[in-house]
Amino acid sequence: MDSVNIPWLVTFPSERFLSSSLKMYVVESKGGAIACMLLALFFLGTWPAILTLLERRGRLPQHTYLDYTITNLLAAVIIAFTFGEIGKSTHEKPNFIEQLTQDNWPSVLFAMAGGIVLSLGNLATQYAWAFVGLSVTEVITSSMTVVIGTTLNYFLDDKINKAEILFPGVGCFLIAVCLGSAVHASNAADNRTKLSSYSHDYKNGEGTKSISTSNEASLEMVWKGDLENGVGTAEKAKFGTAHFLIELEKKRSIKVFGKSTVLGLGITFFAGVCFSLFSPAFNLATNDQWHKLKHGVPHLSVYTAFFYFSVSCFIVALILNITFLFHPVLNTPKSSIKAYLLDWNGRGWAFLAGFLCGFGNGLQFMGGQAAGYAAADAVQALPLVSTFWGIVIFGEYRRSSRRTYLCLGSMLFMFIVAVAVLMASSGHRK
């Protein structure tokens, strides 16, 4: 095959994408770090849409998450045995296998703590997507990660990022969060209007004065009227219609009808706290800012730390989801090991989501090790990607009001500004 003139892909000099002369490959340049962060942004914004799609099709979240967590771990293993093993091992930069035998347990425990909180956060968001919606859930959790996690990483990284650029980027995120909340409120009002109109059409005005202003109560009356009149079974509902909202509730595995909105927001905020802590924990694992390692013991490489991080993430997910098979939460159906093993409906998509999340996290950490983990938190602009998939795949905001579209466009614009500003704050780790 003829060589292609793309220098940072073909050769790996230290001043470009990777350093590899006598040691394992590591991202060192600012350009390479930004490339990692952009790719991570796409991966981490895409896998939530895949899991949401499976839940809306009726696949049990326990089954989906068990499949997802297998390939999530496999991605870390692949990264460890490729990037972590290529190149000559040195005392300062030992390879992955050599680090497994070293006395580096303080750093290992930090990495595993990060994996635990990430697993809890990812598990919580799988339920939050159903209650609050994909776009709003990602906006809230990402904003908490930026405000809390980025601030912690800035100080852990000895302020290598440009504060005059970094914190205005955090401010842009907060503005985007407010706009995201406005999108959610406006879209909820649009849905109430659609459901009320639908109820008028099929109840012939009977009882419409008693329709509650809440979305749940409106859906209850409309759904009952829909069943009584036999509507919706003959043709596919169009995106954005009341008929579509009703059909979605019938199919999905997590029933949100009648559930408190506060419950969904509570789950979302819990996930946000978890997400805000995993990156600082990983930062401590790879850079030992608290000096917990013995003298002469090298820091964990990003690949070794990511391996331990993913192992703990896998163990927590395995224990909790097997428990949820037999003792489900939020009134999801019971299942069993046998039922899980036989459920191949959507398994390939769940495997893909695990790979995307695993490689996305790995790329985020590789970029963060080079440019600072505070700047790497720019991948928390992932709602930009998730909202795109939400519109394309799920038809979110179809047939909405002009106000909703205005808020949505403003939110997406502010996210673009936020990710650009956070990436511009990148420093260089000495």
| pLDDT, tens only, 78-100 | 999 998 887 777 777 888 999 99
- The Cα–Cα gap between 25 and 80 comes to 11
Q: For the beta carbon of residue 191, count every other beta carbon within 10 angstroms.
A: 17
pLDDT band of residue 63 (cuts 50, 70, 90) is: very high
* pLDDT tens figures, 163-213: 787 788 888 877 877 887 787 778 777 877 877 776 555 444 444 333 343
The mean pLDDT of 128-153, rounded to a whole number, is 82
The mean pLDDT of 294-305, rounded to a whole number, is 91
* pLDDT tens figures, 203-255: 444 443 333 434 444 444 444 444 444 444 445 667 667 777 778 778 889 88
- State the pLDDT at residue 349: 96
Break the chain into its structural domains and give their ranges.
30-203+237-425
* pLDDT tens figures, 346-360: 999 999 999 999 999
Please say whether the dihedral angle defined by the alpha carbons of residues 39, 126, 137 and 183, taken in this order, is positive or negative.
positive
**At residue 368, does pLDDT exceed 90?**
no
- Using CA atoms, how far residue 80 sits from 8, 34, 309, 310, 424, in Å, is 21, 21, 12, 11, 29
Rounded to a whole number, what is the distance in angstroms from the first to the last CA of the chain? Answer: 38
